């Protein structure tokens, strides 16, 4: 055995040896910055708060907490939003597809959005009435006489009203259609 100590390993002393820690730090900083940006803009943490809100379109109206007012669930049933109801001024009368049969209904609509939806319904009433009459005229007496048929008719009327509003104003917003009167003859 020799008393001579083993030589110490040589330190890397080139440009590559100095760049590796700098590149690693830049990668970590860039990844952290990108992750922080995503979390903020996607609403995961403060800043983004979800999708951008278009103030030109109707906004959902959240229910006020407390008070002595009776509780009212929204048209979607989860209770988070206020519901605004509007009854159409005149009844609708249309011929059914059955010979010599007709339907006469009174309608109300509901929305969880602000008054701009109801204002759009009133402003575009002639176009909405036309869409409703078109849907009513496609029905048979036997079909709309059943509960299932009435529910399907409500869905079709809602779709027709929302399509008309979308075409005229760029926004639908009607969540439910209700019958206030219903006659088949």
Q: Domains in the chain and their CATH numbers?
A: 84-184 (3.30.479.30)
Confidence grade of residue 179 (pLDDT, cut at 50, 70, 90): very high
Q: Tell whether the model's pLDDT for residue 175 goes beyond 90.
A: yes
What percentage of the chain has pLDDT greater than the value 90?
A: 55
Q: Find the helix packing angle between 147-169 and 116-123, rounded to 10°.
A: 90
DSSP 77: S
Q: Choose between 21 and 168: higher pLDDT.
A: 168
Contacts made by residues 118-123, CB under 8 angstroms, sequence distance 24+ = 118/84, 118/86, 120/58, 120/165, 120/168, 120/169, 120/171, 120/173, 121/86, 121/161, 121/165, 121/174, 122/86
Please report where in the chains the tokens 């809602």 appear, as a residue.
Answer: 158
| 31-76 residue pLDDT tens | 666 666 666 555 555 544 555 666 677 777 777 665 444 344 455 4
3-state secondary structure of 164: helix
This prediction has a pTM of: 0.64
Of the candidates 72, 90, 68, which has an alpha carbon nearest to the alpha carbon of residue 81? 72
């Amino acid at each position: 055995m020799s008393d001579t100590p083993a030589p110490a390993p040589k330190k890397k002393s080139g440009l590559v040896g100095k760049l590796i820690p700098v590149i690693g730090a830049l990668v970590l900083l860039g990844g952290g910055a990108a992750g922080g940006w995503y979390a903020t803009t996607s609403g995961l943490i403060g800043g983004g708060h979800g999708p951008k809100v278009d103030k030109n379109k109707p906004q959902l109206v959240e229910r006020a907490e407390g008070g002595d007012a009776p509780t009212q669930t929204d048209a979607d049933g989860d209770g988070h939003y206020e519901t605004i109801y509007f009854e159409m001024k005149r009844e609708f009368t249309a011929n059914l597809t059955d010979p010599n049969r007709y339907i006469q209904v009174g309608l109300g609509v509901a929305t969880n959005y602000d008054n701009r939806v109801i204002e759009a319904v009133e402003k575009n009433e002639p176009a909405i009435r036309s869409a409703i009459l078109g849907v009513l005229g496609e029905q048979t007496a036997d079909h709309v006489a059943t509960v299932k048929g009435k529910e399907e008719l409500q869905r079709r009327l809602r779709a027709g009203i929302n399509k008309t509003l979308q075409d005229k104003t760029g926004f639908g917003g009607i969540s439910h259609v209700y019958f206030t009167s219903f006659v088949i003859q």
